[in-house]
Chains A and B, each alone.
Chain A
Amino acid sequence: MPEPMSAPAALPLWWVVVLPFLLVAVAAAVVAADASLTARARGARADVLLPVREAGRLLVGQRRRTVAADSVLWRAGGAVLPVAAVLAGVVLPLGLRPVADLSVGVVWFNAMEVLAWAAVWMVGWGPNSALGLVGGYRFVAQGLAYELPHMFAIITAALGAESLRPTDIVAAQRGLWFVVIMPVAFVVYLISATAMAFWGPFDAPVGRDVAGGAAAELSGVDRLVFAGGRRLLLVVAVALAVPLFLGGGAGPWLPAWLWVAVKTAVLLALVLLVRRRFPTIRADRFTEVAWIVLVPLTIVQALVVALLVLNRGGAG
C-alpha cells in the first residue's frame, strides 16, 4: 500500500486527554435523546438536564456491599467497561486522523471491546446474587452469539482495504464506500455492536425481568461507572462503523470531522430508534439466528469481497 498521506497520521498528543471527555459528551447526548423519547411515549416532559441529574444522583449515592461478595472482581468489572471503551476509541479517525494510528488498529479495537465479556460477567458474578449471576451468564451466551459474525464483519472491511489500519480502510473507500460492496457486513456490524454494548434489543443481560441482571446490585459510583461505560462502549462501537463502512470523513462541502460527527449521529439515532421497535431478544433465540443465519452470511460476504479484491489484482 502507498503511504496514506504526508501529514502526520495521528492527532497531537493532547487529544489523549480530550478523547475521554469527547466520548462522555456524546454518551451523555445519547442518554438525553433516549430519555426524551421514553418520556414522550409515557406522556411526560423531556428533561435536558437528565444525564447530569442521573450522574449527580449516582455520585452522591452510597456504594453497596453484599454478603460474601467477590469485591475485587465486582468493582474491577465495572471499571473495565469505560476503560476498554476509551482505549478502543483511540483508533477512531475523528475526521482524517485518529488519536493513535495503529497499523493493527482493527485488531486493537476488537481486543478492547472483547474485554466487555469479562467485565459484564465479573460484575454479574461479584455481588453473590442469583439475578446478577444470571445476567452475567446471559451476556456470555450473547457474546458467543454475536462475536463470530462481528469479527467476520470487521475482517471483511479490512480485507476490502487490504489493511488493518483504520485510516487505510478510510482511504480505500475514496471511490466507493464499503457499505455498497459489503452491505451484509455493515448490517451485521451494527447488530453486533449493539449486542456488544448490551443495548436494546440485546439488553437481556441487564433485563428488567431479572431486576437489572448484572447491574442489579450496583449503586452509587459503581453504577455510574458501569452504566456510563456501557454507553461509551455503544458510542465507540457504533462510531467505528463510520470509518469501516461509510467512508470516514469523506463527503462534500463540510470538513472531515463534521462528516464523521454527522454520520456517527445518524447511526446512533438509528440504534436508538431500533431499540424502540423491538422487544428484548433473548440469548437463546439470538444464538440460533446468529449461528445459522449471520455466520454463513458474513462468510459469504467475506468471500465475495475477497474475490473482488483478487479481481482488481490486490493481495498479489
Chain B
Amino acid sequence: MDLRRLLLRLAAARPHVLLVALPGATEARLAVEAELGRRGWPAAVSPADADVLLVAGPAGPALAAVVGRVWEQMPEPRVRVVVEVVADVSGTLDSAASQLASWTAARPEYGGPGPREQEHRGPEHGGDEHGGHGGGMEMPGGLPMADLGEDRDGLMLDRLHVALGPVLPDWPAGLVLRVELQGDVIQEAEAEVLDPGRGGSSRGDVPAAEDARHAAARHLDGLARFLGVAGWADPAARARRLRDDLLAGAEPAAVRGQVHALTARVRRSRTLRWLVRGIPAGERAVAARLADRLAALDAAVDGAPPAQPGPSRPPDLAALARAVVGAELAAARLVVAAVDPDTDLVAEERGARHA
C-alpha cells in the first residue's frame, strides 16, 4: 500500500536505536552515541520502543544470547546491525535506515497474515524471571509463581526475581544485577559482568596514562549517564554534546566555559540535591560521588594533572551488590550510575552475591 510505504519512509528518517554496549567496546559505544546525537536519532529505552538493534562491539556467548532475546522482543519493522569498527558507524546507520524505509519491498510477508505473536522471555531488559517456586502446577504462560517473603515492614509479600541489565538505558556495559524485588525494594542482589575482558584495552581508546581531554570526556560521559538516570535530560544532552566535541578533537580549554556552566548548573540545582540526598552507595554516598565527579570534571578541563594516575582497578561488584540491597529501584539505579563501575576492566568471570 502506498500510504504504508510513505509512512515507513517518513519514519525511517528518524529510527529509534536500541544500543547494546558490550564490555571492552566503549570506543564503539561513544562513536555510535556521537553519531546518533548528530543525526538527532533518539535512543530507544526498551526493545518495544526500538526499530534498530545496534550491537556495539563483538558479543561473547552470554551477550549474544541476550541480544538474540532482545531481537525477538522487538516489533517489526526492525533491523539488526553490529558496529565493531568505529569508522563504520555512519554507513551502518545509513544502511539500517534504508532497510527500514524499504521494509515492505524487502519483506513481502509483512502485513500479510497479521502480526506474529511476540513472546517475551528472559531478563535482558528487566522482564520477570519468576525464578523460584511454581512446583509442578500448570502456570499461566508456563511461568513459575513469585516467591513470598517478609518485607521491611514485616508483611508477607511477593518476591519477584528480576534481572536488571544488561540492556537498560544509561547502564554499565554488560552488567547484570540479579535482584529480588518486593514492590520496588531490592531485598537481595547479585552482580555479574557478562562476557568480561573481551575488549582487551581498558575503556577503548583511553590510554593508561589518561590525558586531560580523555579524563574530561570520561567524566562527562559518567555525568551524562547519571543525569539520564536521574531523569534530567537537558543537561545530560549537553554533557553528551561536550563529550562528543572533546572526543572529536576539541581542546579541553576550548570547552572550559561550557563545562563550568554545566557543572555549576548541576551543583546549583536544589532539586537534584534533594533527590540524591541520603542515598548510601558503599563507602561514599550518591551525593558525595556526584560532587567528586563534578570536581574531577572541572579539574580536568582546567588542565590540572589527573588526580589518580595509578593503575585502574577492576570494580568491586560485591560492594556494588551490597550497596543496592534495601534500596528502592530508582535509588538503586542512582547508586549504580554514581558508582559507574568500569566493566571494561573486569578481567575474568566473576560474580558477587549479597543477601
**Judging by beta carbons under 8 Å apart, are B128 and A129 in contact?**
yes
Q: Determine the residue in chain B with the shortest Cβ distance to A202.
A: B231
Whether B329 contacts A209 by the Cβ 8 Å rule is: yes
Is B183 a contact of A137 with CB atoms below 8 Å? yes
Once bound together, how far apart are the Cα atoms of A45 and B127, in whole Å? 35
Q: What distance in Å separates the Cβ of A311 from its nearest Cβ neighbour in chain B?
A: 38
CA distance A212 to B119 in the complex (A): 19
- A201 CB-CB contact with B under 8 Å: yes
Residues of B within 8 A of A138 (CB): 184
Residues of A within 8 A of B184 (CB): 134, 137-138
For B115, the chain A residues whose CB sits under 8 A away are: 62-63, 220
A208 touches B170 (CB 8 A): yes
A165 interface hit (Cβ, 8 Å): no
Complexed CA–CA distance, A8 and B284 (Å): 67
Taken together as a complex, chains A and B put the C-alpha atoms of A290 and B46 apart, in Å, by: 31
Q: Are B141 and A67 in contact (CB under 8 A)?
A: yes
Segment of A49-57, A72-80, A83-91, A231-239 engaged in the interface with chain B? A49-57
Q: Select the residue from A37, A61, A200, A203 with max chain B CB neighbours within 10 A.
A: A61
Is A43 a contact partner of B241 (Cβ separation < 8 A)? yes
* Most chain A CB within a 10 A radius of its CB, from B77, B139, B142, B233: B233
A25, CB-defined interface residue at 8 Å: no
Give the contacting residue for B272; candidates A128, A218, A279; CB below 8 A: A279
Task: Give the residues from 16 to 39 in chain B that come closer than 8 angstroms, CB to CB, to chain A.
Answer: 16, 37-39
**In the assembled complex, which residues on chain B have CB atoms less than 8 Å from the CB atom of A128?**
128, 141, 143
Contact at B75–A38, with CB atoms within 8 Å? Answer: no
Q: Report yes or no: A279 in contact with B275, Cβ–Cβ below 8 A.
A: yes
Tell me if A169 counts as interface (CB < 8 A to partner B).
Answer: no
Decide: A42 and B40 in contact? CB cutoff 8 A: yes
A contact residues around B13 at 8 Å (CB): 47, 49, 53
Report A196-251 residues with CB < 8 Å from chain B CB. Answer: 200-201, 203-204, 207-212, 215-220, 223
Interface string of A129-142 (1 = CB under 8 A from B): 11100100110000
Is B2 interfacial (CB 8 A cutoff)?
A: no
Q: Which residues of A sit under 8 angstroms from B274, Cβ to Cβ? A: 285
Asked if residues A223 and B128 are in contact (CB atoms below 8 Å), the reply is: no
State the CA gap A208–B141 with chains docked (Å). 28
Q: Looking at the complex, which one of A38, A56, A68, A285 makes contact with B233 (CB distance below 8 Å)?
A: A38
B143 touches A68 (CB 8 A): yes
Q: Counting chain B CB atoms within 10 Å of each CB, which of A45, A130, A138 scores highest?
A: A130
A280 contacts chain B at the CB level, 8 A cutoff: yes
Q: Which of B4-12, B187-195, B213-221, B296-304 contacts A (4 or more CB under 8 A)?
A: B4-12
Interface string of A18-45 (1 = CB under 8 A from B): 0000000000000000000111011111
| With A130-B160, A130-B162, A279-B271: A208-B11 Cβ-Cβ less than 8 Å | no
Please report the C-alpha to C-alpha distance between residue A127 and residue B169 in the assembled complex, in whole angstroms: 20
**How distant is A91 from chain B, measured CB to nearest CB, in Å?**
32
Q: Is the CB–CB distance between A129 and B14 below 8 Å?
A: no
Q: A208 touching B169 by the CB < 8 A rule?
A: yes
- Name B150-209 residues within 8 Å CB distance of A: 160, 162, 168-170, 181, 183-184
Chain B residue numbers with a CB within 8 Å of A201 are 231, 271
Q: How far is the CB of A155 from chain B (nearest CB, A)?
A: 28
- A211: chain B residues at CB < 8 Å are 45-46, 125-126, 168-169
- Cβ-based interface call for B228 (8 A): yes
B147, chain A: closest CB distance, angstroms = 13
The chain A residue sitting closest to B234, CB to CB, is A276
CA distance A12 to B355 in the complex (A): 65
Interface string of B113-151 (1 = CB under 8 A from A): 001111111000111100000000001111100000000
Interface size, chain B (Cβ < 8 Å)? 71
| Chain A, residue nearest B244 (CB) | A43
Assembly CA distance A251 to B13 (angstroms): 43
Chain A residues with Cβ below 8 Å from B328 are 284
Q: Does A174 contact B (CB under 8 A)?
A: no
Residues of B close to A44: CB separation below 8 A:
37-40
In chain B, what residue has the closest Cβ to A289?
B274
Given the complex, which residues of B lie within 8 Å of A43, measured CB to CB? 37-38, 241, 244
- Quick one: which of A42, A68, A282 has the most chain B CB within 10 A? A42
Contact of B126 among A68, A131, A207, A277 (CB under 8 A): A131
The reply to whether B237 and A38 contact each other, CB–CB distance below 8 Å, is yes
Q: Could you tell me if A200 and B237 are in contact, using CB atoms closer than 8 angstroms?
A: no
Task: Pick the most buried of B7, B170, B181: most chain A CB atoms within 10 A of its CB.
Answer: B7
Out of A49, A54, A67, A203, name the residue touching B231 (CB < 8 Å): A203
In the complex, residue of chain A having the shortest beta-carbon distance to the beta carbon of B270 = A278
Q: How far is the CA of A135 from the CA of B10 in the complex (A)?
A: 31
Please measure, in the bound complex, the distance between the C-alpha atom of A285 and the C-alpha atom of B330, giving whole angstroms.
Answer: 12
- A45 and B244 CA atoms in complex are apart in Å by 16
Cβ of A59 within 8 Å of any chain B Cβ, yes or no, is yes
Q: Are A282 and B232 in contact (CB under 8 A)?
A: no
Check A60 for interface membership: any CB of B closer than 8 A.
yes
A61:B240 contact, CB within 8 angstroms: no
Q: Tell me, rounded to whole Å, the shortest Cβ–Cβ distance linking A110 to chain B.
A: 27
Contacts of B121 in A (CB 8 A): 67
In this assembly, does A103 line the interface, its C-beta being within 8 Å of a C-beta of chain B?
Answer: no
**In the complex, A207→B11 CA distance in Å?**
24
List, in ascending order, chain B residues with CB within 8 A of A68's CB: 139-141, 143
- Least CB distance, A285 to chain B, in whole angstroms: 6
Cβ of B267 to closest chain A Cβ, rounded Å: 13
Residue on A nearest B161 in the bound complex, by CB: A130
User: Which positions 283-332 of chain B face chain A at CB distance < 8 Å?
Assistant: 328-330
What are 5 contact pairs spanning A and B, CB under 8 A?
A37-B234, A60-B77, A129-B126, A137-B184, A211-B45
Given contacts A129-B120, A210-B330, A285-B274, 12 further A-B contacts (CB under 8 A): A38-B237, A42-B237, A44-B40, A49-B10, A59-B7, A66-B119, A66-B127, A67-B120, A212-B45, A215-B49, A223-B48, A281-B275
Residues of A bordering B, CB below 8 Å:
37-39, 41-45, 47, 49-50, 52-54, 56-57, 59-68, 127-131, 134, 137-138, 200-201, 203-204, 207-212, 215-220, 223, 276-282, 284-285
* Nearest 9 A/B pairs, CB to CB: A280-B231, A68-B141, A44-B40, A57-B11, A279-B232, A56-B7, A62-B75, A219-B75, A41-B237
